[in-house]
Structure 1
Amino acid sequence: MSGSNDVTEATAGRPGLIERAGLPRPLAWGFVGLLIFMIGDGVESGYISPYLAENGAGTPARAAVIITVYGALVTAGSWLSGALSDVWGPRRVMLLGLVIWGVLEVLFLAVALPTENYPLMLLTYGLRGFGYPFFAYGFLVWVLAGSPAHRLGSAVGWFYFAFTGGLPTLGSLVASGSQPLIGEYATLWLSLVLVVLGGVVSLVGIRHARGGGRLAAPGVSTWRSIGNSVAIAFTNPRVGIGCLVRIANTAPQFGFLVFLPTIFADDLGFGTSGWLQLVFVLGAANIFANLFFGVLSDRLGWHRTLRWFGCMACAVSSLCLYFVPQYVGQYWVAVLCAAFFGITLAGFTPISVLMSLIAPGQKGNAIAVLNLGAGAATFVGPLVVAAFLDVIGPGGVTIVFAAMYVLAAVAVRWLRVPAESQRIVEEGGTLQEVGAPMPEGRA
């Protein structure tokens, strides 16, 4: 045992390839498992709606109801994952997410779909919406609690690299290859296999990593933590501001999806396939940019990266995405603009780090508010379009979106880090050392 400790001490000062890449070594298998899990979750994303309409839902409208219920519970699960991670520990929340996903998917595939039982399809598929947020965002809280504070940007960058790499990018790619070979129904079973495999890889691979146990103080109950996950936005205004900045991050992206398909496919003559390729380019650019800006933010500064490479760069890229192709009319220019916008969206990566540092004693609750902002963005963007499109046109709406990014850049100045968090960053510790008890030795 002592020999092992000697080796650890001797090598502690020599970072290996994993550390140089910005990955916290004790959590490395967690990122691998998350990627596999999200690939499995993303397999269905490209065809589930028409498949449901043809296999039990009956009509596209009834299929849309199932998808809407699923989306609502994904939003709720994204919020609850942080609050529950504080009191139950990220490890248990991840395990619960894996069990929910697996059990409900088996019921959905083995019972609801074969019998074309619409109420059961609505119940099983809808409730499964809690699964991936519990697993993925539970792991995000674990990453924020267990990673060295001065490398949090890199760790969060790797999280979003694995998350968005699986859902929907590689997941859709797997589906495109498997459907011609085994069919749509068997592909859904394949997604279950991938999800279970990814969950096992993560939970077994990081079972001894620091940060997986309870994070909240001993007197905090589950219901109190859930209540605090709402109250913290008001009792700690910086958390509330962070939520607004997170809304500004992707609200324009969801808003663009409302009116840009018609403009690019019809008005500019790129066609539906051309528009879908632009969406893929945007997503692919964003995946790798998440990793880049995560690592960069640890060196350049989290506030500076968020303000200039996130908020202000998105203000410019959003204007470019709409106006430049209008004037140039060349498809390759639209491709460059889509990639530019996808890259700048990743400049918001440090917001997760700042939210956890702003409320170090309530890391899970702060992330719950952040996730709530991510969910709110999915309807704030379309709401802005609905309110202004007929009044000021698509160009005017784009300017409104750019203004949202500028306002977010101004708001970043209030996302100040408290002294105790700053001390931990400077000393190279982890956020689990701030404002929370130390759970069991290996947590």
Structure 2
Amino acid sequence: METRAQITLLDRIGIPTTFFWGYLGLLLFMIGDGVETSFLSRLFVDQGFDQSQVGVIFTVYGITAAIGAYLAGALSDLWGSRKVMAAGAIIWLVLHLVMLTIALPTRNYALLAASYGLRGFGYPLFAYGFMVWLIAGSPKERLNTALGWFWCCFTAGYPVIGSLLAAAFLPVLHPVGLLWLSWALVGAGAAIALLLIADRTGRQPLAAPEARDLKSILLGGITIMFTVPAVGRGAIARVINTTSQFGMWVFFPIFFTQQLGLPIEQWATLLSIMMGANMAAVIVVGMISDRWSWRKSTALFGGVFCAVACVVLYYTLLVASSNFLAIAAAAVLYGVAVAGYVALPPMMTAQAPERQGQAMSAYSLGAGASAAVGPLVGTLFIGSLGLQGVVWIYAALHLASAFLCLSIRSPGDGRP
């Protein structure tokens, strides 16, 4: 039973007390999901698969993650968020087990692509299902703070703490042992959240009975991108936002270890530094955006800054790989730059205030799609252009997103 002091402390820092165990469960789940980020592509290469084959696996994963992110909100309306989270956890745990016990030991490429690729449905259904529950059940006057804690737990787990665990325990547990640890962490996080969240809102469908039309719920987030073109442009910008990030997570560990000859544990540490900087920068860039302009800050700090930062990171690794401080500084620069797109959600919802849920579905679809587009760009061009050419494509996409963001005008020049 919670004491009054505990309730006051949680309230003071902006965490709804009824969702406390959900935050803890999300953190553990995302730590488990993020453990693999720094080494999994290298593990697949070590199993005898080439970079293009590995790129295909991660592209399939990205596609299913995009679909899962989009469906989390729609299925919460139809089933309730708790069932959506449970479905995501079951998908993740079962398919991860198939990968560990059958696909990897037998080096069966088709089964590996299917088990890991389809596992992509798991984390967005769980995490974004919880986010929808949080939005529905939190006090409206503290919703932004509650969502801030959501993203803090999400990013802290995936990939910051997950990558730190990998860096610390890879020499002891080795990749497969760490994948078993991730399975245990995901299971523990799911159990804590599903069994202990006190709020009742997400235990039943969120949509009113008369509004539970499957077709309109599932298609609304897509149709709004055409009926309100600014939302569509925002969704494309959201795809680009983390396209380079997801591409780097697939191809940079291979480049880091095979071409530069550096230990994978060092890449895991670098990744944690990068995303730790991102966590801090999200708050600062958000404050700047509110005081200046959503669209201008997103175009400058997101589009232009990201284009420069991903090129700087690649060439710093190439010419100064022995200087860890230099490459860590470049990683911090990139992590800060990725935070530059933080104002995209309010930019998009401001275009259709009466359809904010559908605008957020479009945003979530873009977020999930970036996990597919990043590896896909690398898969298509790394053979002909090399990693250097792929990085320049990422930079060009970021510059294109700057123009997209500048075109999304809201009341008050991006500050409705």
Which TM-score tier does this pair reach, normalised by the shorter chain? 0.7 to 0.9
Quick one: which of 397, 403, 407 aligns to 2:403? Answer: 407
Write the distance in 1 (CA, Å) between the matches of 2:188 and 2:313: 44
Write the distance in 1 (CA, Å) between the matches of 2:364 and 2:333: 25
| Paired position in structure 2 for 1:440 | none
1:97 is displaced (CA, Å) by 0.3
Write the distance in 2 (CA, Å) between the matches of 1:265 and 1:194: 27
Contact (CA 8 Å) 1:87, 1:216: kept in 2 or not?
Answer: yes
Quick one: which of 47, 56, 59 aligns to 2:49? Answer: 59
| Paired position in structure 2 for 1:96 | 87
Contact (CA 8 Å) 2:65, 2:371: kept in 1 or not?
Answer: no
Write the distance in 1 (CA, Å) between the matches of 2:371 and 2:54: 19
Q: Which amino acid aligns with 1:346?
A: A
Contact (CA 8 Å) 2:80, 2:204: kept in 1 or not?
Answer: yes
| Paired position in structure 2 for 1:371 | 364
1:62 is displaced (CA, Å) by 4.7
Alignment of 1:225-236 (within 5 A): 225-236=217-228
| Paired position in structure 2 for 1:194 | 185
1:84 is displaced (CA, Å) by 1.7
| Paired position in structure 1 for 2:299 | 311
Q: Secondary structure of the equivalent of 1:45?
A: helix
Give % identity: 36
Contact (CA 8 Å) 2:95, 2:119: kept in 1 or not?
Answer: yes
Alignment of 1:20-59 (within 5 A): 20-53=12-45, 58-59=48-49
Write the distance in 2 (CA, Å) between the matches of 1:144 and 1:98: 20
Larger mean CA deviation between 254-263 and 36-45 belongs to 254-263
1:171 is displaced (CA, Å) by 1.6
Quick one: which of 76, 87, 97 aligns to 1:85? Answer: 76
Instruction: Describe the superposition over 1:323-361 as per-residue Cα deviations: whole angstroms up to 9, x where unpaired.
Output: 79989x986566445424422422433434565676677
Alignment of 1:339-358 (within 5 A): 339-352=332-345, 355=348
Q: Which amino acid aligns with 1:38?
A: M
Write the distance in 2 (CA, Å) between the matches of 1:246 and 1:149: 25
Quick one: which of 155, 166, 169 aligns to 1:175? Answer: 166
**Are residues 241 and 28 of structure 1, via their aligned partners in 2, closer, same or farther at CA, if it must alter by over 3 Å?**
farther
Larger mean CA deviation between 308-317 and 130-139 belongs to 308-317
Q: Say if 2:102 is the partner of 1:106.
A: no
1:138 is displaced (CA, Å) by 1.2
1:253 is displaced (CA, Å) by 4.6
1:237 is displaced (CA, Å) by 3.8
Q: Which amino acid aligns with 1:59?
A: F
Instruction: Describe the superposition over 1:352-377 as per-residue Cα deviations: whole angstroms up to 9, x where unpaired.
Output: 45656766776654333112212444
Q: Secondary structure of the equivalent of 2:37?
A: coil
Write the distance in 1 (CA, Å) between the matches of 2:233 and 2:407: 7
Write the distance in 2 (CA, Å) between the matches of 1:221 and 1:145: 19
Quick one: which of 208, 220, 243 aligns to 2:199? Answer: 208
Write the distance in 1 (CA, Å) between the matches of 2:103 and 2:392: 46
Q: Say if 2:274 is the partner of 1:282.
A: yes
Instruction: Describe the superposition over 1:213-257 as per-residue Cα deviations: whole angstroms up to 9, x where unpaired.
Output: 423343333343212232122234443243133234234556788
| Paired position in structure 2 for 1:246 | 238
Quick one: which of 2, 8, 12 aligns to 1:16? Answer: 8
Contact (CA 8 Å) 1:30, 1:202: kept in 2 or not?
Answer: yes
**Are residues 33 and 356 of structure 1, via their aligned partners in 2, closer, same or farther at CA, if it must alter by over 3 Å?**
farther
**Are residues 163 and 325 of structure 1, via their aligned partners in 2, closer, same or farther at CA, if it must alter by over 3 Å?**
closer
Contact (CA 8 Å) 1:261, 1:272: kept in 2 or not?
Answer: no
Alignment of 1:255-294 (within 5 A): 276=267, 279-290=271-282
TM-score, length basis structure 2: 0.75
Contact (CA 8 Å) 2:38, 2:249: kept in 1 or not?
Answer: no
Alignment of 1:143-162 (within 5 A): 143-162=134-153
Write the distance in 1 (CA, Å) between the matches of 2:240 and 2:108: 40
Q: Secondary structure of the equivalent of 1:346?
A: helix
| Paired position in structure 1 for 2:216 | 224
Contact (CA 8 Å) 1:37, 1:195: kept in 2 or not?
Answer: yes
Write the distance in 1 (CA, Å) between the matches of 2:89 and 2:55: 25
**Are residues 124 and 405 of structure 1, via their aligned partners in 2, closer, same or farther at CA, if it must alter by over 3 Å?**
closer
Larger Rg: 1
Q: Secondary structure of the equivalent of 2:206?
A: coil
Contact (CA 8 Å) 2:14, 2:145: kept in 1 or not?
Answer: yes
* Uncovered stretches (5+) of structure 1, i.e. residues with no partner: 423-443
Q: Secondary structure of the equivalent of 2:15?
A: coil
1:128 is displaced (CA, Å) by 1.6
Write the distance in 2 (CA, Å) between the matches of 1:377 and 1:271: 29
1:175 is displaced (CA, Å) by 2.9
Q: Say if 2:112 is the partner of 1:124.
A: no
1:21 is displaced (CA, Å) by 2.8
**Are residues 253 and 62 of structure 1, via their aligned partners in 2, closer, same or farther at CA, if it must alter by over 3 Å?**
closer
Instruction: Describe the superposition over 1:375-425 as per-residue Cα deviations: whole angstroms up to 9, x where unpaired.
Output: 4445666759969x89xx8998687456435324423423899xxxx9xxx
TM-score, length basis structure 1: 0.71
**Are residues 396 and 147 of structure 1, via their aligned partners in 2, closer, same or farther at CA, if it must alter by over 3 Å?**
same
Q: Secondary structure of the equivalent of 1:44?
A: helix
Quick one: which of 153, 161, 164 aligns to 2:155? Answer: 164
Q: Which amino acid aligns with 1:230?
A: I
Write the distance in 1 (CA, Å) between the matches of 2:341 and 2:100: 37
**Are residues 174 and 258 of structure 1, via their aligned partners in 2, closer, same or farther at CA, if it must alter by over 3 Å?**
closer
Write the distance in 2 (CA, Å) between the matches of 1:337 and 1:243: 28
Write the distance in 1 (CA, Å) between the matches of 2:113 and 2:398: 38
Write the distance in 1 (CA, Å) between the matches of 2:279 and 2:140: 23
RMSD of aligned Cα (Å): 4.5
Contact (CA 8 Å) 2:38, 2:163: kept in 1 or not?
Answer: yes
